[in-house]
Structure 1
Amino acid sequence: MIGTVVLFCVLHLAVGKKNVLFFAVDDLRPQLTCYEGADFPSPVHPPMHTPNLDALAGRSLLLKRAYVQQAVCSPSRTSLLTGRRPDTTHIYDLVHYFRKLGGNFTTIPEYFKMNGYISAGMGKIFHPGAASGHDDPISWSVPYFHATTYWENRDNSWKAIPDGMLKEKPLVDFQIKEQALKTLNEFTSGGQYEGKPFFIAVGFHRPHLPFVFPESYLQYYPEEQIRLPTNEYAPVDMPSVAWSEYGELRTYLDQAKLNASGNINTSLPDDDVRALRRAYYSAVSWTDSLIGEVMGEMESLGFANDTIVSFWGDHGWQLGEHGEWCKHTNFELATHAPMMVHVPGMTDDGIVTEKLTEFVDLFPTLVEAAGLGSMDLCPEVSNNVTLCREGESLVPLMKNPNAPWKDASFSQYPRLQNGTKIMGYTVRTDQYRYTEWPKFNYAPEYKPVWTDLFGVELYDHKIDPEENRNRAKDPAYAVVAQGLSKKLRAGWRAARSPQPGPY
């Protein structure tokens, strides 16, 4: 499985339309300098080297608190690309295809293609393989591009490749970058698509496992700067259903030799934790450099003033905090991911918002920013509706980052415990994260059984931003828990009209 991707879309103003450059990055938590402060994923980290994304953030709407709808690749990407939540797409795993299980929903690249754009995709945008109908061909105007794999395998969870060895056998993300440059040039004078508007989606694989990158990127993270997490233990009073045994990491041969169980309150050897964290940081900086090259080419070709640029990571990632690794949870570190949108003439001076936003908000944002009108809100039952939204356009926040806004974001994650199917639903408010783990009925209902709970969590981010203590059973939080339970079960529609309350 390949992880987090950043989508980079360029919308060109040729024939009166803005281009879109759509970047996706796999498994990227907000480990970027522009997120320094309360919204950074961990207080323990070296200085990050992400100059290109920081520069993009400086002329974008930077969403400091954006949350994915499910912290794993295919469900998250499917949700973002269709503007629908997992309980609508019915995609909770890496196997099923939304058009067969959820509905014949219009996707972001398909929508722009329908509106006269040349849509081109490369790398990881949808989750590859059957889970996306093999990259959802109807979404693209031209054949989809995948790179050739030379170095990425399951022998090592990370590897720094000597730069000189990458000339004849380049890393996959280098090949994707080269394809992006080639594609951009097809829209210049004399190119195959000269004068046509474009939607170019560039999906980078790193920093997804294995963390493979040019050796020179280790220079940004000296070994003596790499520290262990301060909380290598599970949250106090955490229900077991909240835990993931991080099997994705443990299947790599170098990790399997350590015989890590993945059990609650166990951890990897300190040296291994430091090495993995250093490799992840290096892979992030490698990806940042590639995005910088694509951005530089876009600007040199004269597209900068009429191209919308969006960037996102498909979910967060746990780097040993709580003793956890990978995603596959409802914790803050798994559901919180970076997102930014640059719209020429609107965000040039940089706009930062702390409003709670969601990945389903991107689809209506790009449509409105490109001047293609607005999208209707989805009805309660929308499986037969091909085009609608379950998120909000972010354009109002570009005009006023403190504009009235929804007061919660929603995520979910499935579990199978002793043969029982469970769905963990979590709501993030300004101060709290609250999660309930009810029994879940799949097809045809796709509904939780709220009366049959397998765990409840409540974290107070005002005093516990690392989510180290579950306060769901604390009598001092009884009233808060009751209100948050009501908000969670009322769902995202109710959160669109914030109600007064201490939640």
Structure 2
Amino acid sequence: MRQLTYIFLTLVICVLSCESRKNVLFIVSDDLRPEIAAMYDKGNPYQMHDKMYTPHLDAFAERSAVFRKAYVQQAICGPSRASFMTGRRPDTTHVYNLDDYFRTVGGDFTTIPQYFKQQGYRTLGMGKIFHGGSASGGNYDKVSWSDDEEFFTSPSDKKYWRKRFKMRSWAVVNKTMEEEHPLGDQEITDHAIKSLRRLAPTAKLGLENFFMAVGFRLPHLPFVFPGRFLKYYPKETMKMPSNPYAPKDMPEYAWHGNGEIRNGYADITLRGFSKEPNTKWPEYLVKNLRRAYYASVSYVDSLFGKIMAELDRLGLRDDTIVMFGSDHGYELYEHSAWCKHTNFEIATRTPLMIRAPGVTDKGVMSDHLVEYTDVYSTLVELAGLPALPTCPKDSSKVKACTEGTSLVPVMKNPNLPGKQSVFMQYPRNRGPRIGTIMGYSMRTERYRYTEWVKFNGKPDFTPNWFLLFASELYDHYVDPDENVNRAGVQAYASVKAQLSKTLHAGWRAQLPS
């Protein structure tokens, strides 16, 4: 009786004085380049497949803000996720690898779900949100979630599929196999649907809002997916990238050796491919891997569609902000490179779509330059929570702040100017004599400019701009695939000088008014 009275009084108070808050559904895929149909640009395809099958993400895009030029801050899982989940850049989180935990090496920063939890939301996660293991404290950053039971990982993914196919870079699962052992991302989807059903009653009454994070593992290697998705990608339609070669005049520091795929899967390792750039891979193998990647993307799309359908069935569409994105892009033999680990466009650019009821109902297609550090403050503003301040230069003791900017103004008015430059970075270990060299990269509307400089590690975590080892300059107006490094071309000398000045000034100088 006491509980019923509490519910009744809460409802009366809410009806009289409360504006209902929105729930948040935060969905991320892994290793997803902008390889979805909604982001295909016929005039400038950036090596994309021209017939992607992603009907659910396409439908979602119609009522979302689609940011077609969204960039992560480092093209590798752990650092990228530590960055966007805290709203801070790698030189603040101090996470540059797959092992370090931001709370240990950077500071006790308040994450996105943790902030929503502090504002009264029930927060729960499932799948790959933070990078696992030591990179999230060994417990998927326990403090971010409402209680110990509110984070779910896929048991079959760990106990069955990874063991069965760990020696192969890709594998097709038939219907019988899928029924006997659901794929990991299917288990994540099933858990998401079950969780929505559990949360819906109190959420619809306005008694408890939720922040639910769902992380798909695909299309990360190995590409293990149901065979039915191959029909959307006939073998005869598979194409080689137009640039299976390193950029002209590419500095050695820009290259990463393809270690992730060369060393991680027996079907690739046994072939003995060199780690050097311009190593030739058999055409049939490249096409098979590209086909498997595309099929994996379509599989993720189908799972995303199931979650969206359940959200609608439960009557939560108009009460829930939905974000879909990824931790970085992906190379499919462009520049003879695989995976990520670079500052190239194809590795640092990834989809970012946000559906906000009452804000994006008519759809927004944006070509503003945006960064994944912007996600935190954007979701906070859309949910009507107290805004985050911009982080001071030393924010190691500041729990909640942001090094990004809210995207809500350009979602509401796409004609507003955005950032003129966005920033990313990638480290290279050059051994005990030289130490770490950091590639600081910047993307403007027209150019990508990168400087490889000596990195001052602990305790500074700053670049030494005076120790410059190499630079890169790509002109996207004439070379969107970044095939020619023009840093040494005299005709670009003045452009390079200005870009260098802007890069050194950093992201703070680029904050929009």
Structure 1 residue 163, shift from structure 2 partner: 1.8
CA distance in 1, matches of 2:50, 2:415: 31
Alignment map for 1:129-140 (pairs within 5 Å) = 129-133=133-137, 134-140=139-145
**Where does 1:285-364 land on structure 2 (aligned, <5 Å)?**
285-364=298-377
SS in 1 for 2:353: strand
The reply on whether 1:147 has 2:134 as its aligned counterpart is no
State the 1:262 CA deviation.
2.2
**Offset, 1:40:** 6.8
- The C-alpha deviation readout for 1:468-492, integer Å capped at 9, x for no partner, is 0000000000000000000001000
User: Equivalents in 1 of 2:199, 2:30: separation in Å?
Assistant: 27
The aligned runs of 1:26-37 (5 Å cut-off) are 26-37=30-41
Q: CA deviation at 1:196?
A: 1.5
SS at match of 2:92: helix
Question: Could you tell me which amino acid in structure 1 is paired with residue 131 of structure 2?
Answer: H
Asked if structure 1 preserves the Cα contact closer than 8 Å seen for 2:39 and 2:68, the reply is: yes
Preserved contact between residue 22 and residue 311 of structure 1 (Cα < 8 Å) = yes
Partner secondary structure for residue 91 of structure 1:
coil
Is 1:233 matched with 2:245?
yes
1: CA distance, partners of 2:332 / 2:366: 26
1:50 to 48, 54, 75: 54
Secondary structure of residue in 2 paired with 1:451? strand
State the one-letter code of the partner of 2:485.
Answer: N
Q: 2:392 & 2:25 partners in 1: Cα distance?
A: 30
8 A contact 2:35–2:49 mirrored in 1: no
User: What residue number does 1:489 align with?
Assistant: 504
Q: Which residue is 2:201 aligned to?
A: 189
For the aligned residue pairs, the C-alpha RMSD in angstroms reads: 1.8
Q: Is the 8 A contact 1:20 1:307 kept in 2?
A: yes
AA of the residue aligned to 2:509:
A
1: CA distance, partners of 2:374 / 2:442: 16
| Equivalent of 1:201 in 205, 213, 223 | 213
The letter for the 1-side match of 2:463 is P
Q: Is the 8 A contact 2:240 2:287 kept in 1?
A: yes
Give how far 1:267 is off. Answer: 2.7
Map of 1:375-386 to 2, 5 A cutoff?
Answer: 375-386=388-399
SS in 2 for 1:406: coil
**Alignment correspondent of 2:68:** 64
Do 1:68 and 1:358's aligned partners in 2 also have CA atoms closer than 8 Å?
Answer: yes
Contact 1:73/1:315 (8 A) holds in 2: yes
Percent identity over paired residues? 51
In structure 2, relative to structure 1, the CA distance for the partners of 1:97 and 1:20 (3 Å cut) is: same
Matched, 1:92 2:102: no
Cα shift readout 1:264-304 (whole Å, capped 9, x = no counterpart):
11132111100000000000000000000000001100100
Q: CA deviation at 1:316?
A: 0.2
- Aligned residue for 2:280, secondary structure, equals coil
More helix by share: 2
Q: Tell me, yes or no, if the aligned pair for 1:44 and 1:228 is still in contact at 8 Å.
A: no
Match among 256, 263, 268 for residue 281 of structure 2: 268
* TM-score in terms of structure 2 length: 0.92
Assess if the C-alpha contact under 8 Å between 1:185 and 1:191 holds in 2: no
C-alpha deviation, 1:404, in angstroms = 2.2
Between the aligned partners of 2:302 and 2:175, the Cα distance in structure 1 is 14
Q: Name the CA shift for 1:94/1:192 in 2 (closer, same or farther; >3 Å).
A: farther
Q: Residue 256 and residue 201 in structure 1: after superposition, are their counterparts in 2 closer, same or farther (change >3 A)?
A: same
What is the deviation of 1:194?
Answer: 8.6
Deviations along 1:370-398, one digit per CA (max 9) or x if unpaired, are 01132111112111110111101000011
Larger radius of gyration between Structure 1 and Structure 2: 2
Aligned: 1:467 with 2:467: no
- Unpaired runs of 5+ residues, structure 1, are 1-12, 499-503
**Structure 1, residues 292-335: CA drift from partner, whole Å, max 9, x if none?**
00000011001001100001111000000000000000000011
Deviation at 1:496, TM superposition (A): 1.5
Counterpart of 1:140, as a letter, is: W
1:172 corresponds to: 184
**1:382-401 → structure 2 map (5 Å cutoff):** 382-401=395-414
The TM-score with structure 1 as length reference comes to 0.94
Distance, in Å, in 1 between the alignment partners of 2:334 and 2:396 is 38
Deviation at 1:44, TM superposition (A): 5.5
* 3-state SS, counterpart of residue 394 of structure 2: coil
Cα offset, 1:190, TM superposition: 8.2
Aligned partner of 1:30: which letter?
P
Shift of 1:188: 2.9
- Following TM superposition, by how much is the alpha carbon of 1:200 offset from its aligned partner in structure 2, in angstroms? 0.6
AA at the equivalent of 2:464: V
Q: Which residues of structure 2 form unaligned runs of 5+?
A: 1-14
SS of structure 2 residue aligned to 1:264: coil
Whole-Å separation in 1 of the counterparts to 2:43 and 2:299: 22
Query: 1:29 & 1:250 partners in 2: Cα distance?
Result: 20
Secondary structure of 1:49's aligned partner: coil
Superimposed CA distance per residue, residues 1-60 of structure 1 (whole angstroms, 9 cap, x where no aligned partner): xxxxxxxxxxxx998221000001000000000111169763462400001111111111
- Tell me the alpha carbon deviations over residues 394-428 of structure 1, each in whole angstroms, 9 at most, x when there is no partner: 00011111212220000000001243211100000
Aligned residue pair count: 486
SS in 2 for 1:187: helix
Using the TM superposition, name which of 40-49 and 17-26 deviates more: 40-49
Provide the rounded CA distance (Å) in 2 between the counterparts of 1:316 and 1:291.
19
1:248 alignment partner in structure 2: 260
Give the Å deviation of 1:73: 0.3
From 127, 130, 134, the counterpart of 2:131: 127
Greater shift, 147-156 or 193-202, is seen at 193-202
Give me the whole-angstrom Cα distance separating, in 1, the residues matched to 2:93 and 2:474.
Answer: 29
Cross-structure match for 1:10: none
- In 1, are the aligned partners of 2:204 and 2:316 still within 8 Å (CA)? no
Q: Does 1:409 align with 2:422?
A: yes
Range with greater deviation from structure 2 (234-243 or 397-406): 397-406
Cα contact 1:353–1:402 (8 A) shared by 2: no
The aligned amino acid for 2:153 is: H
Give a deviation string over 1:245-266, Cα, whole Å, max 9, x none.
1111112110011111121111
Q: Provide the secondary structure at the position in 1 that maps to 2:370.
A: strand
